[in-house]
């Protein structure tokens, strides 16, 4: 059997897993893509070592799912999330913030978080800044050793993760687990995006 024919069934399987994972993310609020892919494969009854789709495939299916089942509602929700993010970007301007993650790339839903990157000499500096403005802060475990701290705050839409990094990290290009560059924008670029 030619090699391309042997690969076709697994590519169909990958697409099926990606679609099922996207549904889990959209409907059940799973935010960890890897967890969603593994759970989707289990639900589909696939063998334990079945090759999983990459995050880009799941994101594409998630966009398709949202446009098929709730395009208008999703556009409104995304606009509200981005406006909440803009308010935070403006508030935290002293810490050179960037918006990143699902709110920026358009895959966010009602269970998503607003993800902001902040660059400060210490997390305490950011925490004191917020507490002085009457904003309650919760500490969340960072997923990377490059991150000094993650502070979670409430907004009028969803909670926001303030990912605090040292100022030296601002020039570092961050990547997704699958190697794609992670997009990030400042407040002015988000304002432009909201006007489109």
Write the CATH number of the domain with boundaries 72-195: 3.30.460
> Which residues 6+ apart lie within 8 Å of 57 measured at CB?
14, 15, 18
Q: What is the mean pLDDT of residues 176-189?
A: 85
Summarised one tens digit per residue, pLDDT across range 10-65 is 458 889 999 999 999 988 888 888 899 999 999 999 988 889 998 889 988 988 88
The two tokens of residue 138 are 């919760």
Give the ranges where 92-178 is alpha helix by DSSP (H). Answer: 102-105, 123-132
Distance CA 189, CA 98 (A): 10
- Predicted local confidence at residue 112, as pLDDT: 87
- Predicted local confidence at residue 11, as pLDDT: 53
28: exposed, middle or buried (Cβ count in 10 Å: 0-12, 13-18, 19+)? exposed
- Predicted local confidence at residue 154, as pLDDT: 93
Residue 152 has pLDDT above 90, yes or no: yes
Predicted confidence band at 143 (pLDDT cuts at 50, 70, 90)? confident
State in Å, rounded, how far the first CA of the chain is from the last one: 50
The domain spans of the chain are 3-53, 72-195
Distance CA 176, CA 52 (A): 16
- Predicted local confidence at residue 186, as pLDDT: 96
DSSP state of 167: G
Summarised one tens digit per residue, pLDDT across range 15-28 is 999 999 999 998 88
Q: What is the mean pLDDT of residues 84-109?
A: 94
């Amino acid at each position: 059997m030619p090699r391309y024919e042997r690969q076709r069934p697994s590519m169909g399987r990958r697409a099926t897993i990606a679609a099922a994972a996207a549904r889990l993310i959209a409907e059940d609020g799973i935010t960890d893509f890897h967890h969603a892919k593994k759970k989707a494969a289990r639900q589909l009854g696939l063998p334990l070592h079945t090759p999983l789709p990459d995050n880009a495939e799941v994101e594409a299916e998630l966009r398709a799912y949202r446009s098929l089942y709730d395009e208008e509602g999703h556009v409104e929700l995304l606009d509200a999330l981005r406006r909440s993010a803009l308010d935070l970007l403006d508030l935290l301007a002293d810490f050179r913030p960037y918006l990143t993650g699902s709110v920026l790339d358009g895959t966010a839903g009602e269970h998503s978080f607003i993800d902001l990157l902040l660059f400060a000499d210490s997390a305490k500096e950011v925490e004191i800044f917020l507490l002085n403005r009457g904003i309650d802060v919760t500490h969340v475990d960072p997923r990377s050793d490059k991150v000094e701290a993650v502070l979670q705050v409430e907004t009028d839409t969803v909670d926001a993760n303030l990912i605090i990094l040292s100022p030296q990290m601002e020039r570092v290009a961050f990547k997704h687990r699958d190697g794609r560059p992670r997009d990030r924008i400042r407040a002015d670029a988000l304002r432009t995006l909201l006007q489109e």
